[in-house]
Amino acid sequence: MKMHAARSSLIASYGYDPATGDMDIAFSSGSTWRYSGVTMDLFTRFLQAPSKGKFFIAEIKGKHAESKQ
């Protein structure tokens, strides 16, 4: 999955696979996590969010299955 740089103090980069609904987030701390079941609509809203970190905490973290990559 192609990763894209983020302008965020929490998130270094992110990627999304619309075929599987998997979203990878590489955090500024150095760890990368995969979140499953992310819809295209949710990912689009993530892209449009003024703060990707705040959006992630409010809409993705704890609401989707996650695994450390």
| Six token digits for residue 43 | 């990912």
* 37 C-beta neighbours (distance < 10 Å), count: 13
Q: Which positions of the chain have pLDDT values less than 70?
A: none
User: Which pLDDT value is given to residue 33?
Assistant: 98
- Strands 11-17 and 22-27, by their bridges, are antiparallel
User: Which pLDDT value is given to residue 43?
Assistant: 98
User: Which pLDDT value is given to residue 18?
Assistant: 96
Model confidence pLDDT, tens digit, residues 29-41: 999 999 999 999 9
Non-local (6+) Cβ contacts of 21 within 8 A are 36, 37, 38, 39
Q: How many residues does the chain have?
A: 69
Residue with tokens 């599987």: 20
